[in-house]
A and B are shown apart, each in its own frame.
Chain A
Amino acid sequence: MPETPAVPSGRRRVSPGAVLDGFFFVLAGLASVWLAVLLATESLGLGWGLLWFAVLFWALLAYLVLPRLHRILTRLYVPDYFIGRTRTSDGLLGDPVNLAVIGSAEQLHAALAAAGWNRADDVTLASSWRIVTATVRRRSYLRAPVSPLLLFDRVQDFAYQQEVANNPAKRHHVRFWRCPDGWMLPGGHRVDWVAAGTFDRAVGLSLFTLQVTHKIDEHTDIERDHVVASIRRAVPQTRLVLIRDFATGYHSRNGGGDNIQTDGDLPVIDLRGMPLIGTPPGTALPDGGTVIELTGLS
């Protein structure tokens, strides 16, 4: 066997500061559970004030207590290397990674814009407020923000979406992460971007944190194929490599507790043959527009 490159061996050195931080992190989690108990006890003695307390209690539970507990627990049991799933900011498993892209950022942005996708705004106080009001009043918000999901220990680089029925409750959306340098998909395929495309079908409560969030359609393959088809229509030079059974068909839940069903195929969208406006044509791929299937041993 060839020699493996140097990997940091043994346990990582843990600094006292990190231990202290971990202590406060867990203590705060336990204290927040106690606070929830105190509030619940207190609310029993209130008449109509109970209603206000119930809302307060839910907010505390959904936005402070449960996320903190999930963060403590998922740190212990969810692997932080690539398992074909993104993670929510609370560490829970999120949308599946079901797309990959080869090409520069410019090519990807241009292809998505040509295919009728809108770039999502960053999550800020203003954009969050706007998506809430737009959803409640059934107004259109083409660049509505998407929630942060993590892959490679960081939030998506950008996300694109398509509104359905002119309001942000239902929408197609896809998040993109740039792969770390030299990183390869399991199986040894080198790609520049990986992406997670899912369809938001409604607004509801998350199963695990009780937070208000989008519920996704369980048939994530439909959304994946929609993204691929829209780009191939808009950019005829797209070469498609279809890695069959990349993630064997699994039935699972995302971070909001929604079911996911997939055939496990991973389409790799190769945009290297796409010409960009204002630059000399790049290396036009001879097999642009074709589909190449990669199947496993059988």
Chain B
Amino acid sequence: MHNIVNFLHIKKAVILITLLFSLALLPALSSDQYGKILEDIDNLQNFGDNDFTTIYTIVSEKPGEEREVLEVRLFRRDVGDLFLMIIISPEVQKGQGFLQLEDNLWFYDPESRKFEHSSAKENIQNSDAKNNDLMVQTLSEDYTVVSHEEGILGNVPVYILNLEAKNDEVPYPKMKLWVRQTPTLPMKSDEYGYSERLMRSSAYLNYVKVGEKYLPTRILMVDMLNVGEKTQITMTNPSIGPLPDYVFTKAYLEKVNK
């Protein structure tokens, strides 16, 4: 009898230890799964072999300043990390462009006819949008999920991910991301500066399906430090037709201005 009681105690203890061990393992496994969400987001917006062309209209508003409207034409070939963005309006900035070649992002000014190094972290002109916002998303390469939870945004079930940058090539070292569960698309992001202060909050208001991929057609970015400062990015005319190789060259950027 005593042995049976002992056996039951041992069995209980084993079950308890196993349960505790499983619980301890659960978050680690979940983190991996949540990490996979970042890969899914990247994949859903990466056109791979297909070339992508679109026009973005960037409207920025700052208190006490006139509203500024910038229109850019964008070309992307994600498989080679190639990116070209040419300003088409206003007239005074027409022809200025950004070209990503290998690891270098070049800014071209037709006035001086010179190329200068730029960075994905730089603001697009006077707006709150960064070059990085219009480039192919590489969340899984740049960020690690440090904590996560599930929740509801509006009436949509979302994953809420707290991210920390793996490198200093991204504009924001920390980010909180609300991701729709199916398909896994970002709906909102709070972006934190190095000082851990909330700097910008972005809402991804609409998505459009281009081929098999999804891209946000309207993003609202609100500056959280300067009340009343915001930027809205609208995407129009997306297409995935093939582009000639010479589009992604310095020569093309120079030629397009002649």
Bound together: no
Residues of B bordering A, CB below 8 Å: none
Q: What is the interface of chain A, defined by CB distance below 8 A to chain B?
A: none
